[in-house]
Structure 1
C-alpha cells in the first residue's frame, strides 16, 4: 500500500516540472498514467490536488483539469465533487475505448472524426426530437460559454467538449454519453495535435467559424428541427474532418521532401 505523506501528494509521486512540449495536457496525462500503471498509485488512492499538480508540473489549472478529464475518460480515475480524483479499480474500467496512444498520426484523427460524424449527427437529431427543457438550456449555455471563451482569447477546448457532451446528454439515451467518454481527449483534436495547427489570427478565425457552426446546431435543436440539426452537425464535423485531412496531406508531403 502506498503511504500518504500529506494532503497534496502520495509518496513516490513527485513530478518534475514539464518543459514546454507540443502539448502540455498530453504530456501530463502520459506521466500520471505511467504512475498508475507502474503501481505507484493504487486503486482508491487520491491523486495530488490541483494545486499540487500545478506546482509540481509547472502548468496551469486548465492543463491539470484537462488531464484529469482525459484520465477519467480513459477509466483510469474517478472524480468526486468537492473531494478530488481517485485511481479507479482496473476491473471496473471500460473495455471498449479508443486509446490516445493509438493515434500516431493526423490521419488517425481523421478516422476518429469520421466515426464521430455518424454518431454525433444522430445525437443532434435525437436531441432536437426530444427537446428536454434542461437539455436545451445546457446546450445553449455551453454554446454561449464557448463563444465567451473564444472572445477572451482562450483555446476553448473545455467549452468545446462541454458543448458536445451537452448534446449527447440531451438525447435522453444514457448510452450516448457513455460512448462519448470512450473518445476522451480525442473528441477535440486540437487538444492532442495542437502543435501542428495555426496560431494567432488564423486560430481565432477558425474558432469563430466553429462558434458559428455551434450556433447553427443549437438553433436547429432548440427549434426541434431534427433533420436540420443532423445536417448542421454533419457539416460541422465534416469541416473538421476536411481541415485535418488537409493537414495530414501537408505533413505527409513535408516528410517526403
Structure 2
C-alpha cells in the first residue's frame, strides 16, 4: 500500500457504529476527489491495517458503498470507485446553456452558493484542504500552459473550496451541475489571439489565487470578497459578450 493511500485511510474516529464511520470516511474521500472515478480501492487487508477495524466492518462498509452505487467490484480485481459515483436528481447539462443569458443565470446561482462557501472554507479549512486547493490550482496552470482551456481543472478548484466547508452538501450540490458550471463554450477563447488568451489566463489566475490566499489565511471576509469579485468579473465579461453579439 502506497504512503499516499495510507494518508487517505487514516484511523477513523470512534463512533457508535464503526461500519458507518468507515463508510462515511470512504464517501468523504470519494466526494472530495481524493478517490477518483475508476480508481481501485486498497484491499480489505490494507484498509484493515490503515483504519484498525475488523474485516467484517470493512466488508459491511464496502457493501454500504456498493448499495449507494459509489463503488463496483470486479471478480479477482477488487473494488473500484464508480465512474458515475454521484447521484444526480437535478443537473445542468450543456444543452441547457443555449444562450449567454442562461450562462449568466448559472453564474448568479454560483455566486449565491460559493460566496457563503468561501467564508465557511476560510473558517473550517484543514491543512489537507489547503494542499488540495493548491494542487487544483497547479493543475489549472499546467492545463492552460499546455494550450487547453482548463475547464475540468477550474471546476475541480472551485469544488475544492466547497469541500473545505466540511459540509458535504455543498460538494454534492456542485456535482449535480458538473463542469457546465464553468461555461467555457461561450467564452470564445478559441477566437482570442495568443496574447489575448495569455492576458485572460493571467487575470483568472490572479483572481483564483486571491480566493485561495484568503481561505488559506483564514480570512472569511477577504475570501467572500475575492470570490464575489471573481464571479462578478466573470459575469461582466459574459455581459460584454452578450452585448457584442446583439450588435452584430
Task: Quote the Cα distance in structure 1 between the aligned partners of 2:206 and 2:167.
Answer: 27
Deviation at 1:84, TM superposition (A): 8.5
1:238 aligns with 2:216: no
Residue from 223, 247, 252 that aligns with 2:246: 252
Per-residue Cα deviation, 1:194-242 (whole angstroms, up to 9, x for no partner): 5576422212211111111111111100000011000001100111111
Deviation at 1:132, TM superposition (A): 1.2
Residues 109, 186 of structure 1: 8 Å contact kept:
no
Residues 149, 156 of structure 1: 8 Å contact kept:
yes
Listed as ranges, the gaps of 5+ residues in structure 1 are: 1-48, 50-76
Listed as ranges, the gaps of 5+ residues in structure 2 are: 1-37, 39-68, 74-78
1:216 aligns with 2:210: yes
Task: Quote the Cα distance in structure 2 between the aligned partners of 1:174 and 1:139.
Answer: 16
Task: Quote the Cα distance in structure 1 between the aligned partners of 2:148 and 2:84.
Answer: 30
Equivalent pairs, count: 175
For the aligned residues, what is the CA RMSD? 2.8
Residue from 139, 144, 167 that aligns with 1:145: 139
Q: Report the TM-score, using the length of structure 2 for normalisation.
A: 0.63
- The 3-state SS of whatever aligns with 2:239 is helix
Q: Report the TM-score, using the length of structure 1 for normalisation.
A: 0.61
Match of 2:186 in 1: 193
Task: Quote the Cα distance in structure 1 between the aligned partners of 2:120 and 2:99.
Answer: 32
Residue from 97, 101, 115 that aligns with 1:107: 101
Match of 2:26 in 1: none
State the structure with more CA Rg. Answer: 2
Alignment of 1:93-104 (within 5 A): 93-104=87-98
- The 3-state SS of whatever aligns with 2:228 is helix
